[in-house]
Amino acid sequence: MMVVLGGHNISATEKTQQRIEVARYHQHPKFTPGEFEYDIMLLQLKEKAKLNKYVKTIGIPNKNGKTPANINCAVAGWGRTGDKMPLSDVLRETTEKIQFSFECKNIWGIYFNSDHMMCTKFNRKMGGVCQGDSGGPLICNKKVEGITAYTKEDECSNPRYPHIFTKVNYFSSWIKKVMKPSVNVA
Q: What is the mean pLDDT of each run of 10 residues along the chain (186 residues)?
A: 93 94 96 90 95 94 84 95 90 96 95 94 87 95 94 90 95 92 52
The pLDDT, as a whole number, for residue 183 is 46
The pLDDT, as a whole number, for residue 31 is 94
| Strand 163-167 relative to strand 143-150, pairing | antiparallel
Distance between CA atoms of residues 135 and 128, nearest Å = 14
Residue type, 104: C
Residue type, 176: K
Q: What burial class does residue 100 get, using C-beta atoms within 10 Å of its C-beta: 0-12 exposed, 13-18 middle, 19+ buried?
A: middle
Q: What burial class does residue 44 get, using C-beta atoms within 10 Å of its C-beta: 0-12 exposed, 13-18 middle, 19+ buried?
A: exposed
The pLDDT, as a whole number, for residue 185 is 46
Query: Whole-model pTM?
Result: 0.91
* H or E element at residue 149: strand 143-150
Distance between CA atoms of residues 85 and 183, nearest Å = 48
The pLDDT, as a whole number, for residue 163 is 96
All domains of the chain, ordered by start, with CATH? 2-58+172-179 (2.40.10.10), 72-169 (2.40.10.10)
The pLDDT, as a whole number, for residue 182 is 58
